[in-house]
Amino acid sequence: MSGASLNADGRLGMMLTELRLPTMKRLAADLCAQSDREGWAARRLVETLLEQEMAEREVRRFERHRAISCLSPDKRLSTFDFSAVPTISRANVTALTQGHEWLDRGANILAFGAPGVGKSHLLSAIGHALIDAGRRVLFTRCSDLVQRLQAARRDLRLPQELAKLDRFDLLILDDISYVRRDQAETSVLFELIAERYERKSIAITANTPFSQWGDVFDDTAMTVAAIDRLVHRATILEMNVESYRRRAAQATSAKRSKPPA
């Protein structure tokens, strides 16, 4: 069979379209020709074609997971400067992303620090690395998710909405401290935490220490219960450094104001 006859209009091409095997369709002509030329055993040709299809399917799956995750594409471990945050060890962060069985236990991550210290960047970076490892991650502002869950509760579909979030191994809730104390809001957040407890992981960034979370969960009993569930088996990342943004701005202005040599 000539190479050209295998292209989109050929019988093989049509069958591969019908079976939704786009990679095999793209490569079939070349690989068949190579196989003829080099006298491959039939099995090798079939295996090579299937291998390519599977590899590309995996790449497409990871791309889909990354698109759905809402992670900023540039907040990666490769762009995170660990030397700026001496309280965080690169080895510990690497351990979280390489050995990710903590996700199977529903363990959590809590990142604390003032605005600008790199909490969102670091958790996004962990999220990307977990997607690379084949896990499912969703990054969302905590207040956005709370609103979505509130709307779901109004429509009497909170359980379904919570169930939808189950497909994510890790939910990254950015800026819990900005959620405000309207009772309806905070109790959906509590329900989310209670629902995922010991089953599915949550990562949270917070500008304020636990002692001020009474502002998030109006009622003291609920605050205590939420914190208790979150910290159980959690990794706590304390990022008590000066704002990276402020330091970067200072470095730039220092450079600018330096008199020419």
Which is it for strands 109-112 and 201-206: parallel, antiparallel or unpaired?
parallel
Question: Does 120 help bind Mg ion (rule: CB under 5 A)?
Answer: yes
CB 130 within 8 A of CB 137: yes
**d(Cα 72, Cα 70) in Å, to the nearest integer?**
6
Piece of the chain touching Mg ion by CB under 5 A; list 15-23, 33-41, 115-123, 225-233: 115-123
For the bound state, the minimum distance from the C-beta of residue 137 to Mg ion, rounded and expressed in Å, comes to 16
Count the residues of the shown chain that bind Mg ion, applying the rule CB under 5 A.
1
Q: Please report how close the Cβ of residue 34 comes to ligand ADP at its closest, in angstroms.
A: 46
- Largest pairwise CA distance in the chain: 76
Site string for Mg ion, 154-173 (x = CB under 5 A): --------------------
Q: Which is nearer to ligand ADP, 90 or 164 (CB)?
A: 90
- Per-position x/- string for 182-211, each x denoting binding to ligand ADP as judged by CB under 6 A, each - no binding: -----------------------x------
Binds ligand ADP by CB under 6 A, chosen from 24, 117, 170, 204: 117
Task: Give every CB contact of residue 155 below 8 A, 6+ residues apart in sequence.
Answer: none
- Residue 81 binding ligand ADP, by CB under 6 A: yes
Return the number of the residue (24 or 112) whose C-beta is nearest Mg ion: 112
Q: Which residues pair with 172 in a beta bridge?
A: 139, 203
Residue 10 touches which member of Mg ion, ligand ADP, none, C-beta under 5-8 Å by kind:
none
Say whether residue 152 binds ligand ADP (CB under 6 A). Answer: no
Write the single-letter amino acid at 176. Answer: I
Q: Using CB under 6 A, which of the segments 20-28, 117-125, 132-140, 182-190 binds ligand ADP?
A: 117-125
Of 24, 118, 200, 237, the residue at the interface with ligand ADP (CB under 6 A) is 118
Closer of 217 and 244 to ligand ADP (Cβ):
244
Distance between CA 232 and CA 209 in Å, rounded?
A: 16
SS3 169: coil
- Judged by CB under 5 A, the stretch of 10-18, 41-49, 112-120, 245-253 that binds Mg ion is 112-120
The angle formed by the CA atoms of residues 120, 177 and 82, to the nearest 5 degrees, is 25
Please report how many Cα atoms fall inside a 13 Å half-sphere around the Cα of residue 147, on the Cβ side. 7
Q: Smallest Cα–Cα separation from 161: which of 204, 127, 192?
A: 192
Q: What are phi and psi of 141, to 5 degrees?
A: -65, 135
70 binding ligand ADP? (CB under 6 A): no
Q: How far apart, in whole angstroms, are the C-alpha atoms of residue 130 and residue 137?
A: 7
Closest-CA residue to 158 (of 138, 187, 178): 187
Contact positions vs ligand ADP (CB under 6 A): 75, 79-81, 84-85, 113, 115-121, 205, 244-245
Contact positions vs Mg ion (CB under 5 A): 120
